[in-house]
Amino acid sequence: MSIPANQASSPGDGVAWRPSSDDLNRSRLHKLIQQTGSGDYAGLLRRVARDPTWYWETVLRDLDLAWHRPWDRIWDLSAGKARPRWFPGAGFNYTSALDRHADGPRRDHPAVIWEGDDGDVRRLTFAELGDLSDRCAAALRGLGVGEGDRVGIFLPMVPETVAATLACGKLGAVYVPLFSGFGEDAVASRLRDCEARVLITADGFSRRGKLVAMKPVADRALTAAPSVDRCLVLRRAGNDVAWDEKRDVWWHDAVDGASTERITEPTAADDPYMILYTSGTTGRPKGAVHIHAGFPIKATHDLAYCFDVQADDVVFWLTDLGWMMGPWLIAGGLTLGATIVLLEGTPDYPAPDRLWQMIERHRVTVCGVAPTAIRALMPHGADLVTRRDRSSLRVLGSTGETWNPEPWWWYFNHVGEGRCPIINYSGGTETGGGIVSGLTIAPVKPCGFAGPVPGMVADVVDEAGRSLRGAVGELVVRAPWVGMTAGFWRDPARYEATYWSRFPDTWVHGDWAEVDTDGCWFIRGRSDDTLKVAGKRIGPAEIESAAVDHQAVQEAAAIGVPHPIKGDAIVVFAVPTPGAARAPDDAAAVCRFIGERLGGSMRPERVLFVDELPRTRNAKIMRRVIRATYLGQPAGDLTALENPAAVEAIATLRADREG
């Protein structure tokens, strides 16, 4: 393979990609650095650390957002850093950006491109999306939805899903995203917790060519969510459904003939617009509250300055509405006037090159996936990728899990042709976007991050809260930022205990991170997943990367189990490589292999082969569930689990071991 001009060629420097002059000249962030006289990215970060409000004032002017009452200050910290009051007295409704595009020069530009599971394609211009959103808002108002009311959205990724989220914002209502594959308990617990008044769902949808019936799930969930009195139902699959005449309303009856009058409410900047639930280790799911002048601005900011998304971009992210990347893509991409691409189905159906076909067909410029998706697509072969035209791509995105080197390089070399940077991006539901990220103006190291997202006063600290370099420590943020959650829904004590209780005025994110001698950042895994073996702290990602380098292992999850001498002993759960010949001593061979790579003290106590690893619906491996199940302990909240059978298989392994 020839080396593109901006691919690193100096041996030993560890850099895979460097920005070209074209990358710098295009970059919004590079222009911002020049305009502010900050010198470079490091200089910008130093200015942010000294005066975060200066930064946010600067970028808000640069982004030119639509405020109906202008802001005169960024925050009021009289209640403390954990509880800022954002843009006191200002008025902002994030859907005004859609109105601006729908009524302006971009009215006929594609806003949404959608692909169904069966290959159907629909396109909506900004004007068409604006009209659909206003009709949906009028229909919801007719169902009694008003400012502050909570509306659950339990839909597949279809254009109507985008319109429904925007319609809630237009009314000043608060929408609650729900994974399209949730079961009744997961739907009910979230609707009940936020006391939702309305649920928007569909009769069903297609996934891998099979019907996924949503309305029956919704019906059962609503029996346990008494606050919901109306259910708006989109006819998507055409399957027969039960019907409650007093509660249920067809989308086409309520929305299709409704008014397209612009009815965007003049909400306050700090009015809630979304409650985004995340699973807790114990207890009920946590409802992160996000405000109009928070999450949507953070999404817009990160897409603009980390991924350099502009109005000429076509942005695809493999996501569901229930994962933060769905609302992030919708709010940020549309605010910037870009085209967003939605996939209702899966990236390997009806053929394993579905994703690469989509890139070619829609001329995708920014493609984002979780590392798990790349690991799943790799066994189908690189030739399926390389025979598709990927010349439109300029940025590859990734988030959701830590990388192993082999799939990172596969993504970089085969999908991105060695010329597209992988913008590794990590944050969370509660942060509203990224804490650390790659940048299109910074060198890229495999599996790493350029550093903090601009505007984030991030650090890595030791057990006493002191800055730490060259070793693994806690990822923290030392100042508030636009986009952070306003707290957990009706549970302020839990919010402050979760993030603000360990160090004074410091957000502790729960990730282990490391900054190398070149200033490149790495996420080493969740701090509650970290192992301490013979006095040495190690993240699961390092063990897992060693495991998947063995030819017998496609994917792995490492956990620590109590050991009377070492503290933690390592147990690795491994998914075998598809098609590879299995040998009786594979487990022992992988144990030896990891020990050779990481040192004898890090040799696992055992390697256990399983068909699949438990993961959430946004592809994160649930290591805490693996560990709890293997040790026979309570596994906590499992409502976001994608594959319960994987947990049952681990429980069987435990029973066999104990027996």
What is the reported pLDDT for 567? Answer: 75
**φ, ψ dihedrals at 269, nearest 5°:** -60, -35
The DSSP bridge partners found for residue 459 are: 476
User: Rounded to whole angstroms, how far apart are CA atoms 637 and 615?
Assistant: 13
**Cβ atoms 260, 135 nearer than 8 A:** yes
Within 10 Å of residue 212's Cβ, how many Cβ atoms? 18
Alpha-helix residue ranges (DSSP H) falling in 509-615: 540-548, 586-598
Whether the predicted pLDDT of 103 surpasses 80: yes
**Mean pLDDT rounded to a whole number for the chain:** 92
User: Rounded to whole angstroms, how far apart are CA atoms 155 and 326?
Assistant: 12
Burial class of residue 475 (count of CB atoms within 10 Å of its CB; 0-12, 13-18, 19+): buried
- The DSSP output letter for 411 is I
Whether the predicted pLDDT of 9 surpasses 50: no
Reduce the DSSP state of residue 426 to 3 states and report it: strand
In terms of Cα–Cα distance, which of 337, 347, 345, 351 is closest to 368?
Answer: 347
Q: With bands split at pLDDT 50, 70 and 90, how would you rate the model's confidence at 537?
A: low
- 143: CB partners within 8 A, 6+ apart: 198, 230, 232, 249, 254
Whether the predicted pLDDT of 72 surpasses 80: yes
In the structure encoding, which two tokens stand for residue 65, read together?
């957002």
**Cβ atoms 191, 226 nearer than 8 A:** no
**φ, ψ dihedrals at 523, nearest 5°:** -95, 125
484-515 pLDDT tens trace: 999 999 999 999 999 999 999 999 998 889 99
Mean pLDDT of 28-51: 97
In terms of Cα–Cα distance, which of 140, 131, 52, 63 is closest to 94?
Answer: 63
**Cβ atoms 285, 430 nearer than 8 A:** no
- 543: CB partners within 8 A, 6+ apart: 531, 556, 558, 570, 572, 594, 598, 602, 604
272: enclosing H helix or E strand: strand 272-278
Q: Tell me, what amino acid is at 459?
A: D
Alpha-helix residue ranges (DSSP H) falling in 560-619: 586-598
107-144 pLDDT tens trace: 999 999 999 999 999 999 999 999 999 999 999 999 99
Mean pLDDT of 249-275: 97
What is the reported pLDDT for 533? Answer: 76
**Domain ranges within the chain, ordered by starting residue:** 527-658
Reduce the DSSP state of residue 284 to 3 states and report it: coil
What is the reported pLDDT for 58? Answer: 98
The CA radius of gyration of the chain, in Å to the nearest whole number, is 24
211-222 pLDDT tens trace: 999 999 999 999
Q: With bands split at pLDDT 50, 70 and 90, how would you rate the model's confidence at 321?
A: very high
Q: With bands split at pLDDT 50, 70 and 90, how would you rate the model's confidence at 4?
A: very low
User: Rounded to whole angstroms, how far apart are CA atoms 342 and 114?
Assistant: 5
Whether the predicted pLDDT of 84 surpasses 50: yes
Within 10 Å of residue 70's Cβ, how many Cβ atoms? 10
What is the reported pLDDT for 11? Answer: 44
User: Rounded to whole angstroms, how far apart are CA atoms 298 and 129?
Assistant: 22
Fold of 527-658: GMP Synthetase; Chain A, domain 3 (3.30.300)
Q: With bands split at pLDDT 50, 70 and 90, how would you rate the model's confidence at 7?
A: low
Proportion of the chain above pLDDT 70, given as a percent: 95
Name which of 436-450, 491-505, 570-584 the model is least confident about. 570-584
User: Rounded to whole angstroms, how far apart are CA atoms 36 and 208?
Assistant: 50
